[in-house]
């Protein structure tokens, strides 16, 4: 079965201690796991896609503007991959598909489904942040589109511990995802 790794929103703004909407230490703790997994997917000739949240500065019309402080603003370093993942991305960016997204789900308003189907992908592995927001919404859309879903528990985090735990149960019990522990 052909598989792809989706590294969702693992950026400075969502992970770094001084990020605009950081999940802090839980996100920082994922760095080695996500970087290693990304490298193993690349070395195994699998597809790696990085769907990354993008917002326009001072956009009053985006629904998140009412919910969260400005983050992942186009053209800022807040959108760069965090830490060692950025080093790997810079070294191997011709092998990684970068995808801007403007909603929680990596499928909403993007050509992600087309990219996956064109490559014959049936199984998607999800890592990144936040477990109960962008990872969850991407997983729900993947489920509705018929993909096999694998969530790497050591590769997801949130700024909401209760939401993180709830989402892990939801992936398994409601979406039929495999949760790698």
Structure tokens at 148: 């096999």
Model confidence pTM above 0.85: yes
Q: How confident is the model at residue 77 (pLDDT cuts 50, 70, 90)?
A: very high
What number is the average pLDDT over the span 62-73?
94
Please report, for the domain that includes residue 102, its CATH number: 3.40.50.850
Q: How many domains does the chain have?
A: 1
Is pLDDT of 1 > 90? no
Q: How confident is the model at residue 81 (pLDDT cuts 50, 70, 90)?
A: very high
Report the pLDDT value the prediction gives residue 16, as an integer from 0 to 100: 98
Burial label for 139, CB within 10 Å (0-12, 13-18, 19+), is buried
Q: Please give the share of the chain, as a percent, with pLDDT higher than 90.
A: 99
Is pLDDT of 110 > 90? yes
**How many angstroms from the chain centroid is the CA of residue 67?**
19
Is pLDDT of 95 > 90? yes
What number is the average pLDDT over the span 64-91?
96
Report the pLDDT value the prediction gives residue 59, as an integer from 0 to 100: 94
Is pLDDT of 15 > 90? yes
Burial label for 174, CB within 10 Å (0-12, 13-18, 19+), is exposed
Which residues have C-beta within 8 Å of that of residue 159, sequence separation ≥ 6? 21, 22, 23, 24, 26, 130
Q: How confident is the model at residue 56 (pLDDT cuts 50, 70, 90)?
A: very high
CA angle 84, 6, 181 (to 5 degrees): 80
What number is the average pLDDT over the span 69-98?
97
Report the pLDDT value the prediction gives residue 44, as an integer from 0 to 100: 95
Range of the domain at 133: 3-180
Is pLDDT of 141 > 90? yes
CB-facing half-sphere around the CA of 161: CA atoms within 13 A: 3
- In the block, residue with structure tokens 């052909």: 2
């Amino acid at each position: 079965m052909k598989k792809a790794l989706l590294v969702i929103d693992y950026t400075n703004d969502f992970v770094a201690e001084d990020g605009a909407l950081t999940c802090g230490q839980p996100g920082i703790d994922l760095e080695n796991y996500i970087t290693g997994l990304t490298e193993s997917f690349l070395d195994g000739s699998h597809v790696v896609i990085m769907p990354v949240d993008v917002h326009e500065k001072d956009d009053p019309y985006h629904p998140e503007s009412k919910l969260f402080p400005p983050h992942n603003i186009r053209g800022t370093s807040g959108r760069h991959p965090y830490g060692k993942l950025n080093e790997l991305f810079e070294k191997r960016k011709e092998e990684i598909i970068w995808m801007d997204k403007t909603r929680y789900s990596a499928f909403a308003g993007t050509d992600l489904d087309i990219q996956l189907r064109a490559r014959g992908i049936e199984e998607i592995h999800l890592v990144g942040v936040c477990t109960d927001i962008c990872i969850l919404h991407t997983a729900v859309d993947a489920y509705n589109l018929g993909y096999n879903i694998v969530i790497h528990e050591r590769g997801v985090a949130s700024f909401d511990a209760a939401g993180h735990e709830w989402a892990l149960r939801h992936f398994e019990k409601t979406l039929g995802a495999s949760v790698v522990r």
